[in-house]
Structures are given as structure tokens and as C-alpha cells.
């Protein structure tokens, strides 16, 4: 049983101002895995005050001082890798291989990237007689989601530290265990008091208090579109900078060539990874209409091959994060059937042989782009296959979405792949796979604003000052 009933404020583990707790449920067992303290506005005030006090000193530290801290954090992070993986498996049901692999590896990658960038990042440059100076924006509130807890926490915390900001982290209530360990890692690395603070609790309480707080200079939020809209509204009264990485309904375009079956198989398996709980997931699979039967057969075989079960075992897919999320996904599957989509694989209910835990069947529909299941983010292992007539049709379907977070194009003709990628109205396009920690990540349209990852992630936390007549 994991009981985390303290907050990390001003360099110390402290009791909440008002004692109140919540259960954390293991989604694979439906049993209580632990408890966390629920913070209040008073806890936020304490954390913000600590960050504000620490900012003048931390913002003036040297590059080497911040590098020393990040490297100390890196050593502690490596030491605690098994603990982080176990926590992620327990809090969100990620299979052991995924939790101990990609989940913790993404956090480590963002930390290494922050170190690499900080070594040579140009905080000042002379343009003629004017010095352009990039300075830390101030006190930052970092509000993170549950679906990739280390990825989306580390991609905020480490660039903020590297650029000289102080911060308050508000972890997700559904998956708080790994953030607790990260706070222990940062504390053990010797971070100065007040630079990093963490308050657990409900988003409606802690997130609102941070968004409206006079002494918070920036909000960085990853999560759903409705919450992001509310944060923008709350932050408007104090004219904060707001960085948002929101939802997606990304198109995965498979071209008509000899690799079609393999690309459909890979796209389907990728969609089911992390139980479909990925904002950038390729949840709309666009395939050539002339080869629809072949594509459907490959997709069905791939979905049927996904092993689902106890995340402690050797499985590809665990449960979704909660009963509420399970019910939302089941509702979308029912909507797909009701609006006439053809069920290719999976369907309602739990997989055969599983009667406990929030497990969803890997599900595939054949549908069209006007259906609800193709318009709204389901955030579960539900893939919609949509046929296209030609390349222009594929691009039009891909761009016909209120979201614009990610896109995928796979095919053997690299020139054509490149041409299609240029036409997609999304902030991030993966062509034939690959991962780059230095590439900016973020969305067009209702998928948010601003960019994280790499150098662009540093700029999120910096103000630009012009010093005229410097030379």
C-alpha cells in the first residue's frame, strides 16, 4: 500500500494545511493501491510563496550550477528506475515491459535532452548594437496528465529548471505515485529550497488556484480540451502565459504500395499501445479504398494478436486507467455501432476470460470521417479505418478535424511521404516511424498552443528582453 500524505514545499515534506485524502485505485485489480493527500488553496499559496522567494536567486544561477543539479537528478533518476516503473504499472496499469521501458525511458530522454541543450543554449545574442537576452519567465505552474506520467512531467520540469524558473508541480490524481518518486529524486539531488514544489490534489481545486494566482507567471498544462479552455479563461485575468497540449484525433495515412499490410499492422499495434491512451495516437487509419479488404484483414489480425491481461505479466496491453474512462470508451463503442460503423475487431465489454479490472477489447471500426467515433477523442484502444480514393482525398480527410496534434504517413515513396506531410495541418508528423527528443511537439487548432520537447521547450519558459545601445 502506497500512502503519500505529504507535499513537497520549500525543500521539505510537509503536512497539508487541511487533512483530506483520496484513494488511488489499481485499474488492473480494482483494489485500493494507496492514498494521497488532497491539497487546498492554502497549500497552493504556501507553494507559490516558496517558489516566489526562491526565484531571484535561482534565476541568477550560472549555467554550470544548473547543469550540476540536472546531472545529480539524472544519477538519482537512474537509481530509481525500477521504482518508477513499478509505480507506473500500479497507478495506471501499464504492462511491465512498457512501464519499465518506454514510460521511464521518455522521462530519462527529456532529462538528457535538457542537459545537452543547456550546455550550449544561447541565452544572449548581440544583434548590431542591441543585446537580445532570454530570461526565465518566473514562477511556473506545471499541471500534468495521467496517461504518460513521466513523459509529460519531465518534459515540463527539466526545461523549467534548466532555464532558471521555479515551479509548482500538480500531478494527476489518478496516477500520482510516479510523481511522488520524482519529487524524492529531485530532493535527493539537492535542489535548493523553493525551486521545485509539489502539491497533489483535485484539478478543480489545485489547478484553478494555480491558474488564478497573482504570483504565478506561467501555466503549462497537458490534458483535455475542455480543461485547457477553462485554464485559459482563469489565467486571462492575470495575463499569464499559458502553454497547452490538448487532445488529438490524428490521422495515420498508409500509402498504396508493397508495404501496405506491414504498415497497417504497425499502425494498428501502435494504436493499441498504452491502451490507446495517447493524445497523439493515430486513431484514424486512412487506407486506399482500392485495397480496403487487404487493409481490413491486416488490421484485424493485428488487433486479434494483441495480448491483454495482468500488467505484471508478458502482455502487450493492460487496462485503461479507471472505471470512468472504461465507461466513456464503452459509450463510444456503442455509438460506433449505433451510427452504422462496421465492427472489424473487438467490441463492447472486457476481453474473453477477464472479469475484473478496466480492460477494453482492442477494437476496430470501418467508418467514415463524419462519424462521432472519427471526430471525437476516445482515448482508448479504438481505431477507425477510413478508406480514401487518392492522395488528395487522404489529405483532405486527415485535415478535416477540429484537432491538429499529430499525423503519420507511411509509404515506400519517400518523396510522396514528404509531400503529404507538408500538407498536413498538424504540429508533429511522423514519417515511417522514428523519435526525436529535440523535435518540437505541440498542436494546431484545438490541440493547443506552444511547443514542448527540445530547444522549443526551453523557449516556453523564457521571456525575451531587448537591451538597446548595449554595444
- 8 A C-beta contact, residue 66 and residue 136: no
The angle subtended at Cα 36 by Cα 32 and Cα 40, nearest 5°, is 140
Q: Is 56 exposed, middle or buried (0-12, 13-18, 19+ CB in 10 A)?
A: exposed
Cα 447 to Cα 280: distance, rounded to the nearest angstrom: 10
| Residues whose CB falls within 8 Å of the CB of residue 339, separated by 6 or more in sequence, listed in order | 367, 371, 372, 373
Give residue for cell 506491414.
Answer: 262
Taking Cα atoms as reference points, which of 198, 202, 203 lies closest to residue 228? 203
Cα 40 to Cα 98: distance, rounded to the nearest angstrom: 34
Taking Cα atoms as reference points, which of 162, 256, 179 lies closest to residue 459? 162
The angle subtended at Cα 33 by Cα 30 and Cα 37, nearest 5°, is 120
Taking Cα atoms as reference points, which of 155, 345, 369, 365 lies closest to residue 250? 369
Cα 239 to Cα 440: distance, rounded to the nearest angstrom: 25
List 76, 90, 91, 245, catalytic entry: 245
Cα 243 to Cα 221: distance, rounded to the nearest angstrom: 6
Annotated active-site residue 245? The verdict is yes
Return the half-sphere exposure (C-beta side, CA atoms, 13 A cut-off) of residue 221.
29
Which residues are marked as active site? 245
Amino acid at each position: 500500500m502506497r500512502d503519500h500524505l505529504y507535499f513537497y514545499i520549500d525543500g521539505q515534506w510537509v503536512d497539508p494545511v487541511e487533512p483530506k485524502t483520496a484513494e488511488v485505485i489499481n485499474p488492473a485489480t480494482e483494489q485500493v493501491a494507496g492514498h494521497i493527500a488532497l491539497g487546498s488553496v492554502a497549500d497552493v499559496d504556501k507553494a507559490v510563496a516558496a517558489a516566489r522567494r526562491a526565484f531571484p536567486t535561482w534565476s541568477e544561477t550560472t549555467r554550470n550550477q544548473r547543469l550540476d543539479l540536472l546531472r545529480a537528478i539524472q544519477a538519482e533518476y537512474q537509481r530509481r528506475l525500477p521504482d518508477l516503473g513499478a509505480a507506473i504499472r500500479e497507478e495506471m496499469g501499464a504492462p511491465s515491459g512498457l512501464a519499465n521501458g518506454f514510460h521511464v525511458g521518455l522521462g530519462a530522454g527529456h532529462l538528457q535532452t535538457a542537459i545537452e541543450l543547456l550546455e550550449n543554449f544561447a541565452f544572449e545574442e548581440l544583434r548590431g548594437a542591441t543585446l537580445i537576452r532570454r530570461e526565465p519567465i518566473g514562477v511556473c505552474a506545471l499541471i500534468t496528465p495521467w496517461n504518460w506520467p513521466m513523459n509529460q512531467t519531465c518534459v515540463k520540469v527539466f526545461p523549467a529548471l534548466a532555464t532558471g524558473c521555479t515551479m509548482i508541480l500538480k500531478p494527476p490524481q489518478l496516477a500520482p505515485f510516479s510523481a511522488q518518486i520524482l519529487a524524492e529524486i529531485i530532493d535527493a539531488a539537492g535542489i535548493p529550497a523553493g525551486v521545485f514544489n509539489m502539491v497533489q490534489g483535485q484539478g478543480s481545486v489545485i489547478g484553478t488556484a494555480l491558474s488564478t494566482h497573482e504570483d504565478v507567471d506561467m501555466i503549462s498544462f497537458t490534458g483535455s480540451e475542455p480543461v485547457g479552455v477553462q485554464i485559459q479563461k482563469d489565467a486571462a485575468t492575470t495575463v499569464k502565459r499559458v502553454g497547452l497540449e490538448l487532445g488529438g484525433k490524428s490521422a495515420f495515412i498508409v500509402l498504396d504500395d508493397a508495404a501496405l499490410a506491414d504498415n497497417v499492422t504497425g499502425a494498428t499495434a501502435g494504436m493499441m499501445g498504452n491502451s490507446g491512451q495517447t493524445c497523439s495516437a493515430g486513431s484514424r487509419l486512412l487506407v486506399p479504398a482500392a485495397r480496403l479488404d487487404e487493409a481490413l484483414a491486416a488490421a484485424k489480425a493485428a488487433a486479434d494478436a494483441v495480448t491483454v491481461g495482468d500488467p505484471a505479466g508478458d502482455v502487450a496491453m493492460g487496462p485503461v486507467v479507471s472505471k470512468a474512462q472504461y465507461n466513456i470508451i464503452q459509450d463510444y463503442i456503442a455509438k460506433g455501432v449505433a451510427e452504422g460503423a462496421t465492427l472489424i475487431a473487438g467490441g463492447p465489454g472486457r476481453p474473453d476470460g477477464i472479469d475484473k479490472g478496466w480492460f477494453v477489447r482492442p477494437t476496430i471500426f470501418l467508418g467514415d470521417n463524419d462519424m462521432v467515433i472519427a471526430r471525437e477523442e476516445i482515448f482508448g484502444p479504438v481505431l477507425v479505418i477510413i478508406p480514401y480514393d487518392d492522395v488528395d482525398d487522404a489529405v483532405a480527410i486527415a485535415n478535416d478535424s477540429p484537432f491538429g496534434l499529430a499525423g503519420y504517413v507511411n509509404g515506400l515513396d519517400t518523396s510522396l511521404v514528404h509531400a503529404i506531410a507538408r500538407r498536413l495541418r498538424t504540429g508533429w508528423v511522423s514519417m515511417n516511424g522514428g523519435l526525436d527528443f529535440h523535435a518540437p511537439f505541440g498542436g494546431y487548432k484545438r490541440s493547443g498552443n506552444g511547443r514542448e520537447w527540445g530547444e522549443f521547450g526551453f523557449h516556453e519558459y523564457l521571456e525575451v528582453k531587448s537591451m538597446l545601445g548595449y554595444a
